[in-house]
Amino acid sequence: GDTISVKDLAMKMNKSAGELIKKLMGLGVMATINQEVDVETAEILANEFGFEVDIKVDESTYDFIEEIEDDPADLVPRPCVVTVMGHVDHGKTSLLDAIRESNVTASEAGGITQHIGAYQVVHDGKKITFLDTPGHEAFTAMRARGAQVTDIAILVVAADDGVMPQTVEAINHSKAAEVPIIVAINKIDKPDARPERVMQELTEHGLVPEEWGGDTICVPVSAKTREGLENLLEMILLVAEVQELKANPKRLAKGTVIEAELDKGRGPVATVLVQTGTLKIGDSIVAGTAHGKVRAMIDDKGRRVKKAGPSTPVEVLGLSDVPQAGDIFHAVKDDKTAKTISEKRLAKKREEELKATTKVSLDDLFKQI
Ligand code: GTP
Ligand code: MG
């Protein structure tokens, strides 16, 4: 992802690097003057000094679409979308697996779930969509394109390890995106688990647990023994309920590409999250610079489906090309429209690349002289 050095950021704000380093320490980031910080950290830092950061939108893959205005009467409740984040090895994948497994065994005995990087579970009759941590880069890319995919962030912190650098990064990302955080204090089955210490450390980063008078929900869990999972799901639904999430299922679909690859047999395959509208077989779509007609859709249980509504993750077959994670996709009125938009975007992208190379060669020339 994009980064900026502490020195450059300080210069932009007309502050001393020392002031920034001090603020960074307050945020739990140890930095030197030449250190590069990521976009989210820079944004939070800038905000601390009363500045706003403009994240530049990568327009080449976003342009040439007329946004649809929804009639408020068409808006209906949609499931919440949850992203799991946290430090390496703190148990993000294990937690997701545990949630999915319990859910699969409970609702559809013997059902084999296939990995598509995103899946849905039902708790108390309500759907929850989970996204496997899209790496921080994909997360940033999505935000840069104005795509807010997550409604709630689950911050996984291992009770035997505590708050670590990537925990802090995840906190900063969520804060910058203004996404509510629920903390899952994981691995409480371990003999050296210290959940209280984790809560103390979280407080130092501005997340004050509810039981200590703050507003951060902390749920002790174990992906291994499954303790606390029910409670975690309940907390997610509680937070989601307050958000009153809605979307219009009647319009042409729009969403975000979660991951994509070229499959030997099936061609380009994109896992997308439908965020609004309903995606149907036969729809003409554009995703970044790729376009095509939806030939088949496969849900998170490996079943072929004919349509996918808001907050539903599905695999889509039929694209001309492999889009990038974080690309926005739109269903459009016909093939011709999809093709034209994709061609215009490609042309614009090429033009920008050409501009970039011209600039580089001029710089090189300048250096030589
Ligand atoms: P990365 O994707 O590499 O960042 O890791 P992760 O956060 O997805 O962690 P992962 O789920 O791979 O778990 C890391 C290790 O911790 C594995 O060996 C798990 O078996 C173990 N682990 C995860 N959750 C628990 C838990 O609740 N209790 C215990 N005892 N071990 C756990
Ligand atoms: Mg993992």
Compute the distance between CA of residue 172 and CA of residue 178 in angstroms, rounded to an integer.
Answer: 10
Ligand 2 center to 315 CA (angstroms): 21
**Of the listed ranges 126-135, 195-204, 330-339, the one predicted with least confidence:** 126-135
Residue 187 annotated as binding?
A: yes
Tell me which H or E stretch contains 7: helix 6-13
pLDDT in tens, 315-357: 999 999 999 888 889 999 999 999 999 999 999 888 888 776 6
Instruction: Pick the ligand that lies closest to the CA of residue 115.
Output: 2
**Of the listed ranges 8-12, 35-39, 99-103, the one predicted with least confidence:** 99-103
pLDDT in tens, 49-102: 888 776 655 554 557 787 788 999 999 999 999 988 888 889 988 898 899 876
Residue 88 annotated as binding?
A: yes
Ligand 2 center to 184 CA (angstroms): 15
Ligand 1 binding pocket mutation candidate from 87, 89, 160 (most atoms within 8 A of CB): 89
Token pair belonging to 138: 């994909």
Ligand 1 center to 166 CA (angstroms): 15
From the CA of 221, give the closest atom in ligand 1.
Answer: 27
Average pLDDT rounded to a whole number, residues 2-25: 88
Residue 136 annotated as binding?
A: yes
Q: Could you tell me the pLDDT band of residue 234, with boundaries at 50, 70 and 90?
A: very high
Residues with CB under 6 A from ligand 1: 86, 88-94, 186-187, 189-190, 222-224
Compute the distance between CA of residue 286 and CA of residue 293 in angstroms, rounded to an integer.
Answer: 9
Q: Per-residue pLDDT for 175 more than 80?
A: yes
CA 91 to chain CA mean position, Å: 18
pTM of the predicted structure, to 2 decimals: 0.80
Q: Could you tell me the pLDDT band of residue 187, with boundaries at 50, 70 and 90?
A: very high
Which residue type is seen at 274? Answer: V
Residue 215 annotated as binding?
A: no
Q: Percentage of residues in the chain with pLDDT exceeding 70?
A: 85
- Which candidate, 152, 170, 175, 148, places its Cα nearest to that of 233? 152
Residue 1 annotated as binding?
A: no
From the CA of 223, give the closest atom in ligand 1.
Answer: 27
Compute the distance between CA of residue 20 and CA of residue 18 in angstroms, rounded to an integer.
Answer: 5
| DSSP states of 262-324 | EETTTEEEEEEEEEESBEETT-EEEETTEEEEEEEEE-TTS-EESEE-TTEEEEEEEESS---
Average pLDDT rounded to a whole number, residues 193-199: 97
Q: Per-residue pLDDT for 369 more than 50?
A: no
Q: Per-residue pLDDT for 108 more than 50?
A: no
Ligand 2 center to 337 CA (angstroms): 39
From the CA of 90, give the closest atom in ligand 1.
Answer: 7
Instruction: Pick the ligand that lies closest to the CA of residue 86.
Output: 1
Q: Percentage of residues in the chain with pLDDT exceeding 90?
A: 55
Ligand 2 center to 89 CA (angstroms): 7
Q: What is the ipTM of this complex?
A: 0.98
Compute the distance between CA of residue 222 and CA of residue 185 in angstroms, rounded to an integer.
Answer: 8
